[in-house]
Structure 1
């Protein structure tokens, strides 16, 4: 079988990493890339190189990967679908909820095409094992969740666009905290009631550097979240209390390796214990196969005509709605940035 020809729009750190794993799949081959930072006449071995996505889309392609800034992610995703391409888009799906709703309207016009969003945390082995335990019922039902996902700045070493509202749409919550929001949805379902405080008091950018949220789901279960750019030692931590025990996710394997080792601690409630101590076990995960597995699922869905399992446009919409509920439910932040009710 001939390999599917892949174009990558946006060839920065994420685009290059996607390229590495795309070419590892037997059915995919990157043939063209674009990036606005390419100098005129830029060349790469075996690749067509362009400076704009519009030039890229003139190529003979089957699949498009969108690894661009938030302000044009939805625009390029829709352009790819309208060109008859299967599309994989990095999170977030756009600047706001309206962006992803517009994408879904175009997606519905092309039911033969696959659209997937890059929520790669779902593919980490610690998350998969946690989801397995929860679904098995061996520790009972979820009572509550507490999560912290933080790093030490809004602007990463790769560039400063994430601090500019006109390019990013939001700050640390939309950029990184969206992963924690998505995982809480994965484990619990949809959250209907949200209380929040949003702040940019430390870094003083035009986007948030801290988001604090308390959310209640349809069954009355509560999740607490802090998405922060003032966590001087990078942290990923999610604690899940269940009726018969607990699961704690600590660390996440990443390219920067700054979030510590990836592990989960699983404990079972001891009804005879008066001091809350119980037997627990720790499981460590030494490899990050999330990027590979996420791309493999996308490619296999295209080749075999299977539905997208995780990272669907519905997932992207519901996660964006919840992110914007957090923004909206801080009245000061809502008024300052004229944020609309995401459910309307």
Structure 2
């Protein structure tokens, strides 16, 4: 398929590299024309523009990827859906749930498939964890514990992610939505939201840490922490069942080797049987996610990790911000 890409920053470049060999980048746009030109130069015959509307309306583009800053995600995606172009929109898909509601409406009305960039679902350790989970071997879910963080970089407080008008929020909205999405993937819907957000280190008007306590109706819990004061990059996600535990550590690169550890309890209790799987390969979750989306388009299937999943994650984010203001936990 011929692909149009809006947003040629770090994530946009990752998305371009993740197209695979069967698809071609036909047009790109970025408000910084030099970034658009740089990316286009790596793809033969690729047009480049400063105006995103030129990509959305480009006659060759069959699929649109939206990888802009958060403040324009919904606007660009809406225009693409209105032209009946399938869209892969980067998470969180909007700054808040109100911005995403028109997207859901127009996508359903036009019958256009839309995938949100929850690429963590496509990391091999998480894929294998989900396969084990689906067997029922772990028994009933008790709780989930997740940590995700990085240490920022010089000038981080001056970047767009530190501007609430552009980003919509801080670390909770950035890495937090990944942990929320993964928790919903295993636990289902959460009914109660509690926790705390604060800015400990970076001099910026958004939070640099968020602590979440999410509960289902059945009192299953996800205890999550996201941080941009995690001085050594960290990813850890643990799923506790009555019969065992799945623990995912690392995402490759600066987050360390990706690893799944499966702890299987015995009837006699004591030390569990332990199986460790490591994935030292480079991160191909971006390519796997795009291939999955194309398969959904071709077979007329609604993708997992869609706009409704993004809205549910955003509602949890908003509930935690509300709790921060009111001091009271929120029931969804």
Instruction: Verify same fold: TM over 0.5.
Output: yes
Indicate if the aligned counterparts of 2:199 and 2:208 stay in contact, CA closer than 8 A. Answer: yes
* Structure 1 unmatched runs, 5+: 335-340
Q: Does 1:301 align with 2:296?
A: yes
Q: What is the CA-CA distance between 1:342 and the residue it aligns to? A: 10
Give matches, 1:314-333, under 5 Å.
Answer: 314-331=308-325
Instruction: Give the corresponding residue for 2:144.
Output: 145
Query: 2 CA distance for matches of 1:193 and 1:99?
Result: 23
Query: 1 CA distance for matches of 2:154 and 2:190?
Result: 29
Q: What is the CA-CA distance between 1:134 and the residue it aligns to? A: 1.3
Query: 2 CA distance for matches of 1:59 and 1:246?
Result: 49
The list of structure 1 runs, each at least 4 consecutive aligned residues, that deviate by more than 6 angstroms after superposition, is: 154-157
Query: 1 CA distance for matches of 2:331 and 2:95?
Result: 12
Judge which range, 62-71 or 100-109, deviates more: 100-109
Instruction: Give the corresponding residue for 2:8.
Output: 11
TM-score (norm 1): 0.88
What secondary structure, in the 3-state scheme, does the structure 1 residue paired with 2:25 have? strand
What secondary structure, in the 3-state scheme, does the structure 2 residue paired with 1:109 have? helix
Q: What is the CA-CA distance between 1:23 and the residue it aligns to? A: 4.8
Instruction: Give the corresponding residue for 1:182.
Output: 181
Query: 1 CA distance for matches of 2:194 and 2:309?
Result: 22
Q: What is the CA-CA distance between 1:83 and the residue it aligns to? A: 1.8
Q: What is the CA-CA distance between 1:327 and the residue it aligns to? A: 2.0
Judge which range, 264-273 or 136-145, deviates more: 264-273
> Given the alignment, which residue of 258, 262, 277 partners 1:262?
258
Query: 1 CA distance for matches of 2:106 and 2:168?
Result: 22
Aligned length: 324
The 3 A distance-change label for structure 1 pair 40 and 114 is: closer
After superposition, the CA RMSD in angstroms is 2.2
Instruction: Give the corresponding residue for 1:56.
Output: 55
Query: 2 CA distance for matches of 1:160 and 1:89?
Result: 21
The 3 A distance-change label for structure 1 pair 322 and 154 is: farther
The 3 A distance-change label for structure 1 pair 314 and 120 is: same
Query: 1 CA distance for matches of 2:137 and 2:223?
Result: 24
The 3 A distance-change label for structure 1 pair 248 and 39 is: closer
Query: 1 CA distance for matches of 2:34 and 2:176?
Result: 34
What secondary structure, in the 3-state scheme, does the structure 2 residue paired with 1:148 have? strand
What secondary structure, in the 3-state scheme, does the structure 2 residue paired with 1:204 have? coil
Instruction: Give the corresponding residue for 1:172.
Output: 171
Query: 2 CA distance for matches of 1:10 and 1:85?
Result: 17
Give matches, 1:31-110, under 5 Å.
Answer: 31-39=26-34, 42=37, 44=41, 45-60=44-59, 61-110=61-110
Instruction: Give the corresponding residue for 2:305.
Output: 311
Q: What is the CA-CA distance between 1:173 and the residue it aligns to? A: 1.3
Q: What is the CA-CA distance between 1:309 and the residue it aligns to? A: 3.0
Query: 2 CA distance for matches of 1:260 and 1:281?
Result: 19
Query: 1 CA distance for matches of 2:12 and 2:92?
Result: 15
Query: 2 CA distance for matches of 1:40 and 1:285?
Result: 32
* Deviation string, structure 1 residues 199-242 (Cα, Å, up to 9, x no partner): 01321311110111111112211110111111111110112211
What secondary structure, in the 3-state scheme, does the structure 1 residue paired with 2:48 have? strand
Q: What is the CA-CA distance between 1:109 and the residue it aligns to? A: 2.1
Indicate if the aligned counterparts of 2:28 and 2:55 stay in contact, CA closer than 8 A. Answer: yes
